[in-house]
Amino acid sequence: MPEEVLFKSESARSRDEIASYLRNVVEKLEQGDSITLRAGEESVTMDPPERPTFEVKAEREGPAGGPGELSIEFELEWDENSEGAAGGSDSLEIE
């Protein structure tokens, strides 16, 4: 299935700034509200269902054995025409 990017923003931010963005997302999720992403004139509003699939990924990109780029990715995903995932049994801990 082809991917369509609806919104993208990438910029260097302090840990405090990133934590603030993530706290805003947490509050919206806890309240059951839609989440609006905005940068300049671009914006998109998404309404995650009660049980979206939550994906956490740690990656290293770059040449084998050489320095690369590290990332931690958090992703919520769901089918447009469904109420979310049936549930997962994987145990996740973030410390």
For residue range 13-64, what is the model confidence (pLDDT) as tens digits?
Answer: 999 999 999 999 999 999 999 999 999 999 999 999 999 999 999 999 988 8
Residue 83: pLDDT band (50, 70, 90) is low
End-to-end CA distance of the chain: 34
- Give 81's DSSP letter: T
By C-alpha distance, which of 36, 23, 77 is closest to 53? Answer: 77
Which pTM value belongs to this model? Answer: 0.81
CB 36 within 8 A of CB 44: yes
